[in-house]
Amino acid sequence: MMRAASLFVLPTGLSLLAFVSLASRQRLLGLCALALSALWVLLVGLKRFLRLRTPILVGATVLCGLAVFTGQPPLIAVLALTASIYGWDFSLTADSLAAFRKSAKGRFVVRYITLSSILAGLGIGLAAAAALWRTTLSFSPALGLAVGTLLVAVVLLRLARSTIETPDASEQ
């Protein structure tokens, strides 16, 4: 179920981006997006070369950036990127659930997809709100904001690193 969700979400997002790009005569961009979604379906569907999933996510991000750069509606790019991130995540989660029986996975998958949908909705909502928000920043507040963001990033990074467990002695 998780793999099926992954096979649906990421290609749908990229196909949407491809459709919009082709409609606005950005053929190369549209074809690249279609190629990426086809590649994703092949890899995840056939469970082969799964190491390429992260490069595909990076590729999808680059395509979304280019779409914005070439003047496509930012919200479409946001939708495509969100779909790419959660499709990628579903595929990775499907791997860690592979050993468990189907009946046991059902409840977990429903909960996981619900939570992911809420987060995806929140991300898209915030992006939409940010796109509507217009403000001008002078030098001093912008510098303060940048330093503050940097500090928050450092704190978050330290927290994240502290949660990485040390490998067991038996694994060393």
Residues that bind another protein (CB under 8 A): 54, 57-58, 61, 64-65, 68-69, 74, 77-78, 81-82, 85-86, 89, 92-93, 95-97, 99-101, 104-105, 107-108, 112, 115-116, 119-120, 122-124, 126-127, 130-131, 153, 156, 159-161, 163-165, 168, 170-171
31 vs 146 by CB, closer to another protein: 146
CA distance 154 to 87: 28
CB of 47 to another protein, least distance (A): 15
CA distance 42 to 38: 6
> How many degrees, rounded to 5, is the angle at CA 148 between CA 144 and CA 151?
145
CB of 126 to another protein, least distance (A): 5
CB of 101 to another protein, least distance (A): 5
CA distance 98 to 158: 32
58 vs 151 by CB, closer to another protein: 58
* Cβ-contact 16, 34 below 8 angstroms: no
CA distance 16 to 72: 12
